A and B are shown apart, each in its own frame.
Chain A
């Protein structure tokens, strides 16, 4: 009994001197050590390519540094400047507008397409393949092609409109229509992604609720509203998360087609950031933008993940 108590004390003592991370792991050090060694290279890589750049960005954000000039510590001045920078604030609002359009439009069209492609009809496989082609194209190449198509005098879009009697539009060459026009390109390219996600969801749905609905005489709309939609919602939320993060980060298509113009009409946070960092070489200020932008994306992702958790269903 005394021996047992002594052993128990020893074990308790040994636990108390273990590092917290080992105690949290809840495994014996003999088993754990080899795993730590295997994980070490990955930890070094993560530290080098994620942790260090982040710490360095934070460090730069509290300095004023223009390429070619001396660096000076300014504390939180760069962050305070952001709050009064009209161009930054406008870019933030524009990013929200762009993101909302670039998420909702592909989501609606992608869901409708998925419902269509879920039905059986001739050449369905071939047409599905054709439908997802835009997703495989390089965004810069896509943007260059659309730039030519948007040309107000020579572009094919205005030619097509003229065939049905609609007057020529200015597309990306007008401050009022530039963002919807850019979203048109995003929609063309990324609707297939939403379609694939939702299609995967539809394929995984159980058949029993549909059989029950059929027996109860439910209409097509009722079946969709009360069975398909709730069950496919978690998949839609995945699509929303992916599309939102993609749309907030959108740069290539905007930069190639409009460069943030006309004027600043399509200058989103990414374009603003790019200009500060690589056109004006205001590295310190641009770093502050990065930090704020990152915080926004993380917050948004957490909110969306929370909503997704709430929308989960159990078969």
Chain B
């Protein structure tokens, strides 16, 4: 199977926490990992300038917030830009194709861009730099990165052209107050999820039993979240498609039932932002999406359900319990003329301290084991934040890639996304999946063969 489970990749809650016991000890003593504790020369490229292009989102906010720290540490000035996800992907790909990108460092999504960039060899292989003590800070401690995250980042030919920056586990957010009012327990299977959604669905009060993405393309990870629970990946390593078999049809029916019967009106046009808007206003009982939304949900300025949000791990399917996994990394443009200075930036951005800040500030799920241990030991994430962290820890053990590791992943999402949207309008799941599979098969063969 192409998409090994995160356990087989080496991620597990126990290993993650064991591996970071030392960091926990430090945290318990109130120590924070820093940058100037070794004799490593951070100033060697003083006066240089780097251009960094970031995908708009919490991680970009975090990096820009502390950018001055890097500039003071190294004497390197940084020009960083944040570009919305879709436009960022296009911009980076087009600039790489030109052979002369305007940036030295770029963020990359593993579930969409990794294969394309790997094939083009647009990013620098970082393995030699990591091993080189002259240019790599001894405190960088590469083994601290979860093995699963590193494997997720590694290209088919063994090249490591990015350092992981975030892992996005899909969890089930739920409104505890609505669950308590109707006496509904947190679901322990897909069937219970459907039952709960039906009981909690209350169109008279404009409250949906279930919220998830219905918009074409964006909706595919919702379906694959269910498909993984039926024990199969959408596409295997040998390019066998499991997209119109019995598991695919059954999981599509779960998607259809939840959205058509228990979703909000107009869910076929909902992306994550519409779901979030409905959920923070208390207009949704459950919401299946990535783990990175806790900040707005617990922000009194944006949310009416502060303190009422439950963070649940994805319920088990008939064959397996899986949390769909997505991820992002950061790499250095192979065409950059300032590769070593850029490597200093990457080391800083993916350092233990930045990972710790990442988790403490709930900017997402960082890939370093030490971040979890130190944050747990520091006791900074308690109450709802602690529940969020627990859901993340449990998801780590059951995580599995939510999208196939292929070049034409956007076409995959588009083709199957149209079918899923049609299902919300009542189309037959088996017919839609068959049609989408037939449409996508030649694309897959063409892109993967070439």
Contact = CB atoms under 8 A, between A and B. Distances in A.
Nearest to A262: B268
B90 interface: yes
B216 A260 contact: yes
Contacts of A259: 215-217
Contacts of B8: none
Contacts of A261: 215-216, 268-269, 421
A153 B120 contact: no
A274 to B, nearest CB: 10
A70 B96 CA distance: 14
Contact of B116 (A68, A170, A175, A278): A68
A130 interface: no
A69 B216 CA distance: 26
B272 to A, nearest CB: 13
A175 B93 CA distance: 32
B97 interface: yes
A87 to B, nearest CB: 9
Contact of B268 (A67, A69, A168, A263): A263
Contacts of A278: 90, 94
A118 interface: no
Contact of A281 (B93, B277, B414, B418): B93
Contacts of B216: 259-264
Contacts of B265: 152-153, 168, 170, 173
B331 to A, nearest CB: 15
From B122, B266, B408, name the one whose CB has the most chain A CB atoms within 10 angstroms. Answer: B266
B206 interface: yes
A67 B93 contact: yes
Nearest to B87: A278
Contact of A280 (B266, B283, B410): B410
A206 to B, nearest CB: 51
Interface residues of A, number: 29
B277 to A, nearest CB: 7
B262 interface: no
Interface string A228-268: 00000000000000000000000000000011111110000
Contacts of B240: none
B264 interface: yes
Nearest to A280: B411
Interface in B244-290: 264-270, 274, 277-278, 281, 283
Contact of B269 (A70, A154, A172): A172
From B206, B217, B269, name the one whose CB has the most chain A CB atoms within 10 angstroms. Answer: B269
A153 B116 contact: no
A70 B414 contact: no
B214 interface: yes
B14 interface: no
A94 interface: no
Contact of A264 (B119, B269, B411, B418): B418
A171 B270 CA distance: 12
A109 interface: no
B407 interface: yes
A69 B421 contact: no
Contacts of A262: 214-216, 268-269, 421, 424-425
A151 B267 CA distance: 10
B36 to A, nearest CB: 40
A153 B206 contact: yes
A286 to B, nearest CB: 12
B407 A152 contact: no
Interface string B416-450: 00100110110000000000000000000001001
A279 B90 CA distance: 7
A171 B269 CA distance: 10
A275 interface: yes
Contacts of B421: 261-263
A253 to B, nearest CB: 15
B123 to A, nearest CB: 12
B265 to A, nearest CB: 4
B277 A170 contact: no
Contacts of B418: 263-264
A128 interface: no
A173 B270 contact: yes
Contacts of B90: 278-279
A66 interface: yes
A153 B421 CA distance: 19
A167 to B, nearest CB: 10
Nearest to B407: A68
Contacts of A173: 265-270
21 contacts: A66-B450, A68-B117, A68-B407, A69-B119, A70-B450, A151-B266, A153-B265, A154-B277, A173-B266, A174-B266, A175-B425, A259-B215, A261-B215, A262-B216, A262-B421, A264-B216, A264-B418, A279-B86, A279-B411, A280-B411, A280-B414
Given A152-B266, A168-B265, 15 more contacts: A67-B94, A68-B122, A151-B266, A151-B274, A153-B266, A171-B266, A173-B265, A174-B269, A258-B269, A259-B216, A261-B216, A261-B421, A262-B214, A262-B421, A278-B94
Interface of A: 66-70, 151-154, 168, 170-175, 178, 258-264, 275, 278-281
Interface of B: 86, 90, 93-94, 96-97, 116-117, 119-120, 122, 206, 214-217, 264-270, 274, 277-278, 281, 283, 407-408, 410-411, 414, 418, 421-422, 424-425, 447, 450
